[in-house]
Amino acid sequence: MNVMNIQMDAALGMQYHSPQQQARVITETWAADNMYCVICGAPHLESLKNNRPVADLTCPGCHSIFELKSHNGRFGGIISDGAYDTMMARLADDNNPHLFVMEYNRAEYVVENLWVIPKYFFTSEIIMKRKPLSANARRAGWTGCNIAWKNIPAQGKIAVISKRVILDPAKVREKVSVTGSLATDRIKERGWLMDVLYCLNQIGTEYFALSDVYKFTDYLQERHQDNHNVHPKIRQQLQVLRDKGFVEFLGRGKYRITERCS
């Protein structure tokens, strides 16, 4: 395993005039030089060719691919991403990339925080379509998207570096592995599962009642407008989470979130 260094090489950006280009080269080079594969544990990742849609890095061992999104300072609630159509087409693709989310300090070019979001946490509900570029723009009509980072369940935001502290790679991989049981190719079912899991996070207690989850009915109805039986769907997803070990049924509409879910 390579020794990770949170310091980036700012000199790599000197040959570029655009601050965006400088940041891209510096952060992607850092990731290729320092990041290990959170899926199989391979000691390093490799850069992919520029301009490949929705992908930046690949694992030479298990061939998992990763996209890197970096930001000077905090991201806030959304992450700007690429073309909307490309992102939507890749959601159900087995080759859809996992996402690294990096917050860094540009003055020092130091990694502040880094998370990995496994690809099966991405749903159509968290992809926000932006307005097409105007007719006067160089890429007139091009439509980008944002990722609603704030709506991803906490279990899908797995810290690799936190407040400049490098976390134990074995524990990071273990957390990624635990969430693997949530993976499903059925994009609509994935959306429901992740949204109900997000609602459980918002309740914020180990023990909860079915009535607590029902309080999110309007939120879930807005996100799944083609479904008009939200309560049965909530109960169904709680059963799925129970079967996958994330929730324990206590009887009479009472539940407990397990350690696997925390």
Q: Other C-beta atoms within 10 Å of 152: how many?
A: 23
CB 18 within 8 A of CB 61: no
Fold (topology level) of 10-182: PvuII Endonuclease; Chain A (3.40.210)
Q: For the chain, what is the mean pLDDT? A: 92
Tens-place pLDDT, residues 71-105: 999 998 999 988 999 888 888 777 789 999 999 99
pLDDT band per the 50, 70, 90 thresholds, residue 120? very high
Provide the residue type at 31 as one letter. Answer: A
The pLDDT value given to residue 114: 98
4 CB burial (10 A radius; 0-12, 13-18, 19+): middle
pLDDT band per the 50, 70, 90 thresholds, residue 247? very high
Indicate the helix (H) or strand (E) that contains 254: strand 254-257
Q: Where along the chain do the CATH 1.10.10.10 domains lie?
A: 187-261
**Residue 199: C-alpha distances to residues 35, 168, 214 (Å):** 31, 29, 10
Tens-place pLDDT, residues 7-59: 999 999 888 888 888 998 899 899 999 999 999 999 999 988 765 555 689 99
- In CATH terms, 187-261 corresponds, of 3.90.650.10, 3.40.50.850, 1.10.10.10, 3.90.950.20, to 1.10.10.10
How far apart are alpha carbons 43 and 45 in whole angstroms?
7
